[in-house]
């Protein structure tokens, strides 16, 4: 393989992570910013889930379509990625989220009366939460929601690529956590998705951003640890019935 071909192979996954995160933020976060009043929580959750499903089929075979530093961390701890590749993914995801947020901000500014300062599809607790969840509650729910997402991701994929119906399960998991989390803290489960919009919203969105970086990463790490217990490598998967001991059959009189 020539040097230029090797360079292309190594670049495609990073470009895919950049592009995918850009599109996820623009369309999914955009559903909340531009159309939230009309489609509600259910519609926003579906927008996140559907967007991820579509991108998983488009980009999953190339990069795994992580689009999320917490997912990449889970993959790293599961030893499916090298540290260098994970670092490249993290940079591409954050830059992609910022670029997607910039495009969304440009569109939002064309809508008369649309509030962006301190809002803009960002995450928050206290007065910035629809149910006024406190800091501790937001921290715990972000860990649990990210745990579910990354655990499902690790369980339905082999190595890195997302193929077949894997994208459907991952998209459903993302939609589910948004149905639960939007009223609580706006649902992050993705540090890059939180960083991009917060930079343009400013105000409390910036001061509260740390939680939506740290908690999802903890959730992703816990998912990788638990996944190693429930899905140990190099061991056959047990069928449920075969895993339950049975009494030996006896002949009837």
Residue 238 has a pLDDT of: 45
Q: How far apart are CA 171 and CA 205, in angstroms?
A: 26
Which domains are seen in the chain, by residue range? 11-230 (1.20.1080.10)
Q: How sure is the predictor about 236, in pLDDT bands with cuts at 50, 70 and 90?
A: low
Note the pLDDT tens digit of each residue in 48-62: 999 999 999 999 999
**SS3 of residue 123 by DSSP:** coil
Classify each residue of 27-53 as buried b or exposed e, where b means 16 or more C-beta atoms within 10 Å of its C-beta.
bbbbbbbbebeeeebeebbbbbbbbbb
CA angle centred on 158, ends 156 and 159, rounded to 5°: 135
Q: How far apart are CA 100 and CA 2, in angstroms?
A: 34
Note the pLDDT tens digit of each residue in 114-171: 877 778 999 999 999 999 999 999 999 999 999 999 999 999 987 777 777 788 999 9
Q: What is the pTM assigned to this prediction?
A: 0.88
Question: 56, 171 in Cβ contact below 8 A?
Answer: yes
Q: How far apart are CA 15 and CA 247, in angstroms?
A: 56
């Amino acid at each position: 393989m020539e040097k230029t071909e090797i360079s292309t192979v190594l670049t495609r996954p990073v470009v895919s992570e950049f592009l995918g995160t850009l599109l996820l933020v623009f369309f999914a976060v955009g559903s909340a910013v531009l159309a939230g009043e009309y489609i509600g929580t259910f519609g926003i959750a579906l927008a996140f889930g559907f967007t991820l499903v579509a991108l998983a089929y488009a980009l999953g075979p190339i990069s795994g379509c992580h689009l999320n530093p917490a997912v990449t961390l889970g993959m790293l701890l599961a030893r499916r990625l090298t540290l260098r590749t994970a670092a490249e993914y993290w940079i591409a995801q954050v830059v992609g989220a910022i670029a997607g947020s910039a495009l969304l901000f440009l569109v939002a500014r064309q809508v008369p009366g649309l509030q962006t300062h301190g809002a803009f599809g960002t995450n928050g607790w206290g007065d910035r939460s629809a149910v006024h969840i406190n800091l501790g509650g937001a921290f715990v729910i972000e860990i649990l929601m990210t745990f579910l997402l990354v655990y499902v991701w690790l369980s339905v994929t082999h190595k890195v690529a997302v193929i077949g119906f894997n994208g459907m399960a991952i998209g459903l998991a993302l939609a589910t956590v948004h149905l639960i989390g939007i009223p609580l803290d706006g649902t992050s489960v993705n540090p890059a998705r939180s960083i991009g919009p917060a930079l343009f919203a400013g105000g409390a969105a910036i001061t509260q951003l740390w939680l939506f970086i740290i908690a999802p990463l903890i959730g992703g790490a816990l998912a990788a640890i638990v996944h190693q217990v429930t899905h140990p490598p190099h061991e056959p998967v047990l069928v449920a019935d075969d895993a339950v001991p049975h009494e030996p059959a006896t002949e009837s009189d």
